[in-house]
Structure formats: structure tokens, C-alpha cells
Amino acid sequence: MSLKALEQMGRQAEMAAAGLCWGQWIALGAGAAGTGAKRARSIVDPEALVLLSLYVSQEERRLRDMVAWWARVGSTLTSLQRMKTVAKAFPEEITAASLPLFATLATEAGDRRWRKAARGPVPPWVRPGKGPDALDLIDPGALWPRLRAGFGVGAKADLLAFLLGLKGGWASTSVIAYATGYSKVSIRNAASEMTLARLIRETEGRPSEYLAPPAPWAALLDLEGGKPPRSLQTSVPEWRFWVEVFAFLANAMALSRLSTSGAVPSMRLLASRARDLMEDHSTAFRLNNIPVPVPGAFKGPSAMEGLVETVRVVTSWSEEYL
């Protein structure tokens, strides 16, 4: 496999990531016109979206305007602790630069929760007036921050967003914790109290599983936007495990950048990293039902070919299930 092929893979990952970012910003009401992106139909992940947008903005600079807009109008609906957790799945420079940058922008906008994580002055590229002055959150894809607006930024709102996105499916404490980034103890406590309030349902057996009935929630939240209801269950947006998908694309981009940086490690090391990248995100591929190649099928240098194919499959899946 040539370095040129890895460069092309990185470009493919970058284009897919940019399309995902624009689609989710549109669903949040950012007014991202002229991008050619389609609106996200699945539940938007605010923290993962900010981190991926800042990473992709090295090439797609307009995404910085979206991040600055969200810091101004949506930082209070964004979780600092979850962003720290989510950042661990991304390339190291995400934690080193992107999170403190968003914290600086949020602090400047008046959200003091982010002050301790802020670092440095507001960058000169911030352009005031980009995006609406207030949030709407009427789009079904904006369900997660909308629930945070109602229940507060914490485990209960996030747990509910995940369960609603399963559209009537049951989920264990472990799966909910993996999806939301909270500890199992936090999820168990939140689920117990929400079950007590009859906001969600719990199985009788052990280990416990939980369900949020989609029809009454869809009616309450008016997810049809005032239109005559079709199916209240189908009007609920679906959950995708976007954190790991976003992180996979970012890490694929990082590996491609490394291979073309002039400080190229050995092809053997590149292959090893390619295999690790496929294996590290295998759980998310399985939970999202993405039919990627099996990492073990690629030995030695052929792991890079496996990564190229995995990026192709993930890109195709992302376009279909955004």
C-alpha cells in the first residue's frame, strides 16, 4: 500500500466528517446554508460534534463559525465533563487544544462553568453574528440538547435521549453508560429515580434493562412539528453511536496526516496503527451494525488495506444513516 493511498483515505475520511458535521449543525438550527449537506435525521451528539468540527476545521474553516456560534448560544446545554470523556477517543491534539478552545469561547460568552478549562485569549478568527441569536431546537435531531434544556445537563437527560433513540428498545446499564459516557453507578442511580417517577420502564429480572416508551414522549415533544401524526414511534429520531464513529474518522485523518507529514514512521508501524484503529472502534461498529471488515483478516502490512476499506464502509454508512 502506497502513502498516496493513505492520503486519499484521509481525504475521504475528512469529506465524510465534514458532511456529518454540517448535517448535525443544520439540525441544531445553525443556519448553515450553502454547504450542500443534508440535514441529520438521527440524534445530534453536541460534545462529539464540537470536537470533530474543530478537528475538521483545519481544512474546513467555516466549521469554526459553527463552534463559536454554539459556544455563544448553546454552551449551557453542553457538558464539560462529558466533553472531557468524549475527547479521550479522539486524537491527542483534541484534548490538548480543542476542548480548552471551546471552553474559552464559552467563558467569553458568559458561561462560567467552563472557566477552569479555558486557556488563552479568544482567537482572532471568531466572527460575531454568525448563526441565529437564539436556539430553536424544534428539529427532531436536536432532541438531546432539547431534553437538557428541560431536565438539566446531566445523566437523566442523556439517559432519556439515548433510550428514546432506541425507539422502543431495551438497554442495559452497561450499554447506556458506554453510549453516554457516564459511569455505571451514575446511570444506575439516574435510571432508578426515573423509573420511580415512571418516566422510563425497567425490566423485572436482573440485570436490569430500561426502556423509554416512544409514543407518549413523541406526542409530548411534538416531534411531528404540528403536522398530523404519522407514527409517533417513527417520528422519534434514531440513536447512533456517533462518538466512536466521529473519533474513528478523526483518527483515520490523523494517521493519514502523519503518513504525509515528512516525518513518516516505518510502513510496519503505520500498519500496526491501522490495525489498532480498526480494533479500538470495533465495539461501536458492532453496536451501529456497520459491516466493516474483520481486523484479524489483515496480517502485517495488509492492515493498511483493511483500514482503507473500513473508512470506505464507514463513510458509506454515515451518508446513509446521518
State whether the Cα torsion 156-158-161-164 is positive or negative. negative
Amino acid at site 131: G
Note the pLDDT of residue 129.
65
Q: pLDDT (tens digit, 9 = 90+) per residue, 259-290?
A: 776 666 677 788 888 888 999 999 989 999 99
What are the b/e assignments for 211-220, b being 16+ CB within 10 Å?
A: bbebeebbee
pLDDT at residue 38 in the model: 85
Other CB atoms within 10 Å distance of the CB of residue 225: 9
Contact (CB, 8 A) for 6 and 260? yes
- pLDDT beneath 50: ranges in the chain: none
Q: What pLDDT, on the 0 to 100 scale, is given for residue 229?
A: 55
Tens of pLDDT, residue by residue over 113-140, are 999 999 888 888 887 767 788 898 989 9
- Grid coordinates given for 121: 485569549
Which pLDDT does position 287 carry in this prediction?
A: 92
The whole-number pLDDT of residue 262 equals 62
Q: What is the pTM of this model?
A: 0.93
The total number of residues shown for the chain amounts to 322
Q: How far apart are CA 261 and CA 141, in angstroms?
A: 37
State the pairing for strand pair 201-202/171-172.
unpaired
Instruction: Locate 70 and state its grid cell.
Output: 454554539
CA distance 253 to 247: 10
